[in-house]
Structure 1
Amino acid sequence: MVSGVETLLLEVLPVFIIAATVGIFVAKVWELPYTIALLLAGLAVSILGVVTDLVTIDIRLSHDIIFLVLLPPLLFEGAATTDLAQFRRHFGPIIALSTVGLLISIGILGVLGQYAFGYPLLVSLLFAATVLPTDPVSVLALFDELGVPDRLAVVVEGESLLNDGVGVVVFTALLALVADGATATDLLSITGLGTLTLEMVFVSLGGALVGYVSGYAVYSVMRNLDEHMTEVVLTLILVYGSFLIAEHYLHVSGVIATVVAGLLIGNRGADEAMSPQTKISIFTSLATMAFLVNTFIFVIIGVTKPVDQLVTYADLILLAIPLVLLVRALAVYPVTALTNRLSMSSISTEYQHVIVWGGLHGSIPIALVLGLRPDLYPSLPVGELRAMVFGVAAFSLIVQGLTMPTLLDGLGVVTRSEAEEVYELLLGRARAVDAALAAAERLHKNSEIPTPMYEAFTAEYEREKEQLRTAIQTLLGAYLEVGTRNS
């Protein structure tokens, strides 16, 4: 008799490997963002019927598995690769969109969903909190390829990073109400709203504090280390440790703790506590973890036969897609208009159009809805919710993601010229030279390289640094827009 673990290894693992391979191949050959390629691979698995029914394999994706295993690496990697300086510069619109904008969207979709889907208000709000957090991976890959200004990319990425945290906090609070058998009347009462608001503020601020403290502790240790493998292990411990401490021991937001820890390590830690080799090792490890998690999520979609569910619940999905787009627009335009009036890093109308259409819904919504199980939440229409979330995610990744270049061209947002490409190459090389000089100085200070070698190395790289500085200044003098276009 074949055990559950043996069945998992014999049936699911080969599918996982095949889907990942197909996804990578499609991404490379068709030049697609890998999340879109993985989605297509997952759909192919479902259509071909490689695995007929996930239930017979007895894999139970509990809420804890989703939160403890899948979410932390996705959130940490996204935070660690965010430019904190640019994030701070555009913090006004980012925080407004990710908090006020998201809450407005959830509220509107929750109310409309009562009539569109026939759900009770609490269930409709839960669906909204599940589906509305955005995923920047696919659209940012296109942004980088097409030369979208850094300012727009940072706003889109920053909003997604924070609204993931806020969305998960709202999702968790609403799910707890559903599990307790609460009603919309309980939620909408003054006491209910007040309690919910205070709880969200407490868990959010508490999570941010845990993330900062745990991130700073690891950063402090890494400053005194120069062993890249040990620092990789410390980072991986921080990825899950910050989440566990916050969520299970202090009962605050593990999601926000992970995001804050990632921002600290990915920026201050990378600048002050990591050697070039350590940076490469850590960021490669984080990217690999995020890729594996994304692959797992989309393969699980495939083996759960979503095509059958898409057909069964096509009417609900066709209602959900335009509603999600509508409520995003109803939040983005008024919120950005308000931040513009307050002079919080003005966002142009063209940028607002891109932010609305670029709000892709991918890994986070799918991970959240996969954690809903009929046996744990019998009052929820889990099958319908999964199909609707997947349908919205599929539409946003495939249709919105693949039409983004056309939208950018039509709006005239793609602005990278040949001069800007040269400028970025020169700037990247200058940063690499600075990193090499810093590493050489550290090695010499620790007596790991002899003085003559250090002096020769330093002299050579100082000459290149001066040549790069001259070239950059010449380019900026000839093309004034290069230095200001992405500011």
Structure 2
Amino acid sequence: MEFEAATSADAVIKQNLEQFLVVLTVSLSVATVSRIFSWFRRIPYTLLLVIVGLGLAFVNVRLVNLSPELILEIFLPPLLFEAAWNIRWRDLQESLVPVGLFAIAGVIISILGVALPVSQFTGLSLPIALLLGASLAATDPVSVVALFRELGAGKRLTTVMEGESLFNDGVAVVAFLLLVGIPLGVEEFSIPVTVARFGTFVGIGAGLGCLIGYGISYLTQRFDFPLVEQSLTLVSAYGTYLLVEELGGSGVIGVVTVGLILGNFGSRIGMNPRTRLIVSEFWEFLAFFVNSIVFLLIGDQINFGSLSKNLDLIAIAILTVVGTRFVVIFGLGYLSNALKGSTFNWREFTVLWWGGLRGGVSIALALSVPTILDGRQEIIDAVFGVVLFTLLVQGLTTQVFLKRLDLVGDQPQRQAYSEAIARRTALNRVLNFLAEVEQSPDIDPDFYRYQQQLVRGQLRDVEDGITKLQTQNPQLLAITMEQLREELVDIEADTYAEYIRAGRLNRNLSPVLQSVLDQAIEKVMTEDEA
């Protein structure tokens, strides 16, 4: 019996590995094809994966069973951490009012805006409709944010879209958990109780996230070992999620908090520039890897037969999602402008409205609805229908909105300018090396001079290119000032970290240059505009 059990377990493991390899092979094949053929580059990579998954589902090829635990516990933490790690707190802070309004008040409006019409015009009860609204309140703009960056959309627009999604997911998940007990009959809706439970969920998540984030930040100051520091970020993402969930908090909020702290504080005081680059590249790969699997499986899990039976529900859900998103973005957006004196205009609001896609989190929540509820399949079908609409219709047309509304930026020029600046720095360092290095007696001195002439020639070409770019695009000068500011702040933070590692300082000092340099740059930019 023991031998048969072991054999059966081995067979299951082998089958799971084979399924995983098939999924990975298909995902990477889509990535490769999208890079080889120029026509496919017009379609965001994540949307291509959904389309391929739909094709597989249409011919009834199922790659793997997609469970909510798989998304929430394995796929969600790295996606959230990577987004939080890369978002700049300084940029997020400037847009904190609209992000907060969209992520908190916006979720409430979205839930009610979907639930009330659905319960009114379909056969779903209000408690079930509220679960549907909570499932659809979570936005997933991965492909839209990637498109923003590729086309060079404004940093503020990208920050708001990404920041809203980070906190929106956490609030939507908490709202879902609060509402799921009502149709089961184990809880009654009460505003004071709901507010208290919401505060508990968020408080535990944010509190533990702060403890873990700052703890790892100060720990990494004590040593310089890139592989260990990289591993610590991975453990913090998964460990925070599991620990917070175990203690009754919101794992999503916990992971977002840890990612923000490590990306904006820990990486500055505890990691040297090379380590930060290694960790950032690791998380970029992991996010690509996880997104490749998640979006392929979203398309692969579609049940066309079941969807066709609930087309009326899906149509109402799509209309309410798009309509409530319009109310949230334009209503709360103009309120944010009034409260903070922001300058978001109707064109930016239009892109934020149309770019509010739904994805993996919504599907995970829908699949986690208890099987004993009568409306579970209707919720799943409605969510899948809305996700397909937002990904394939809104996702594929967002680029058109950006171009028609004249929100496409100068990303190609900025990238070319950054590359030219990097080449100039590298060539100057080569020249310094040739000037300072002790000349070997085995090498003819004329050879050293010849090498210097070659490098100087290349340097002149690079500087001519930089001058040309600056003349054609004066706004690119801000990149140089921003890079200098970051280098100066990094030098200051690295110095404090060295003192702590050497035992000459027992606590970290906050960089004093950051606010001073920010004010100086703002002053220079204001004078240039005047």
1:90 to 70, 92, 95: 95
C-alpha distance after superposition, 1:390-427 (max 9, x if no partner): 22112111211111111111111113276545445457
C-alpha distance after superposition, 1:427-468 (max 9, x if no partner): 7779x98xx9xxxxxxxxxxxxxxx88xxxxxx9xxx99x99
Distance 2:59 2:319 in 1: 29
Paired letter, 1:289: L
Query: Which residue number in structure 1 is paired with residue 134 of structure 2?
Result: 129
CA contact (8 A) 1:297 1:367 kept: no
C-alpha distance after superposition, 1:89-114 (max 9, x if no partner): 11111111111122111122111121
Is structure 2 residue 103 aligned with structure 1 residue 102? no
Shift of 1:122: 1.6
Query: Which residue number in structure 1 is paired with residue 355 of structure 2?
Result: 358
Paired letter, 1:123: I
Query: Which residue number in structure 2 is paired with residue 80 of structure 1?
Result: 85
1:49 to 60, 71, 91: 60
Name the stretch that deviates more: 173-182 or 332-341.
Answer: 173-182
Rg larger for: 2
Query: Which residue number in structure 2 is paired with residue 444 of structure 1?
Result: none
Name the stretch that deviates more: 225-234 or 350-359.
Answer: 225-234
C-alpha distance after superposition, 1:14-68 (max 9, x if no partner): 541343134323542311322212211211221222239x7xxxx583x555432
Paired letter, 2:383: V
CA contact (8 A) 2:23 2:293 kept: yes
CA contact (8 A) 1:228 1:278 kept: yes
Shift of 1:475: 6.6
Paired letter, 2:260: L
Distance 1:469 1:169 in 2: 54
Distance 1:228 1:420 in 2: 30
Is structure 2 residue 342 aligned with structure 1 residue 345? yes
Distance 2:101 2:462 in 1: 39
Shift of 1:359: 0.7
Is structure 2 residue 222 aligned with structure 1 residue 224? yes
CA contact (8 A) 1:70 1:367 kept: no
C-alpha distance after superposition, 1:377-400 (max 9, x if no partner): x11422222222122112111211
CA contact (8 A) 2:302 2:384 kept: no
Is structure 2 residue 387 aligned with structure 1 residue 393? yes
CA contact (8 A) 2:118 2:316 kept: no
Shift of 1:143: 0.7
CA contact (8 A) 2:49 2:299 kept: no
Shift of 1:240: 1.3
Query: Which residue number in structure 2 is paired with residue 210 of structure 1?
Result: 208
Change (3 A) 1:161 1:328: same
Name the stretch that deviates more: 274-283 or 197-206.
Answer: 274-283
Distance 2:194 2:421 in 1: 48
CA contact (8 A) 2:217 2:267 kept: no
1:379 to 366, 369, 373: 373
Distance 2:374 2:293 in 1: 25
C-alpha distance after superposition, 1:156-182 (max 9, x if no partner): 111111101111111111123334444
Is structure 2 residue 20 aligned with structure 1 residue 13? yes
1:324 to 321, 324, 327: 321
Shift of 1:352: 0.4
Query: Which residue number in structure 2 is paired with residue 37 of structure 1?
Result: 48
Trace 1:434-445 onto structure 2 (pairs within 5 A).
none
Is structure 2 residue 36 aligned with structure 1 residue 25? no
2:151 to 146, 155, 171: 146
Shift of 1:125: 1.2
CA contact (8 A) 1:129 1:167 kept: yes
Query: Which residue number in structure 1 is paired with residue 246 of structure 2?
Result: 248
Paired letter, 1:248: E
Shift of 1:350: 0.6
Query: Which residue number in structure 2 is paired with residue 285 of structure 1?
Result: 282
CA contact (8 A) 1:75 1:161 kept: yes
Shift of 1:330: 1.2
Distance 1:419 1:285 in 2: 27
Query: Which residue number in structure 2 is paired with residue 114 of structure 1?
Result: 119
Query: Which residue number in structure 2 is paired with residue 168 of structure 1?
Result: 173
Change (3 A) 1:400 1:5: same
Q: Which runs of 5+ in 1 are unaligned?
A: 437-451, 454-459
CA contact (8 A) 2:221 2:271 kept: yes
Distance 2:211 2:99 in 1: 23
Shift of 1:314: 2.5
Shift of 1:136: 2.3
Q: Which runs of 5+ in 2 are unaligned?
A: 1-6, 430-435, 438-451, 453-457, 483-521, 523-530
Query: Which residue number in structure 2 is paired with residue 405 of structure 1?
Result: 399
C-alpha distance after superposition, 1:164-220 (max 9, x if no partner): 1111111111123334444xxx32xxxx11110121122212211111110111111
Paired letter, 1:105: S
Trace 1:263-342 onto structure 2 (pairs within 5 A).
263-342=260-339
Paired letter, 1:294: N
Name the stretch that deviates more: 16-25 or 159-168.
Answer: 16-25
SS at match of 1:342: helix
Is structure 2 residue 236 aligned with structure 1 residue 238? yes
Change (3 A) 1:424 1:397: farther
Distance 2:330 2:374 in 1: 32
Distance 2:168 2:290 in 1: 20
Distance 1:117 1:105 in 2: 18
Distance 2:28 2:473 in 1: 44
Change (3 A) 1:85 1:469: farther
Distance 1:482 1:150 in 2: 14
Paired letter, 2:147: L
Distance 1:381 1:331 in 2: 27
CA contact (8 A) 1:211 1:242 kept: yes
Q: How many residues align?
A: 446
Distance 1:417 1:274 in 2: 28
Shift of 1:469: 11
TM-score by length of 1: 0.81
RMSD between superposed Cα atoms in Å? 3.5
Percent identical across equivalent pairs? 30
TM-score by length of 2: 0.75
Shift of 1:365: 1.1
Paired letter, 1:413: L
C-alpha distance after superposition, 1:351-394 (max 9, x if no partner): 000100011111221222233352xxx11422222222122112
Query: Which residue number in structure 1 is paired with residue 446 of structure 2?
Result: none
CA contact (8 A) 1:92 1:345 kept: no
Distance 2:185 2:71 in 1: 21
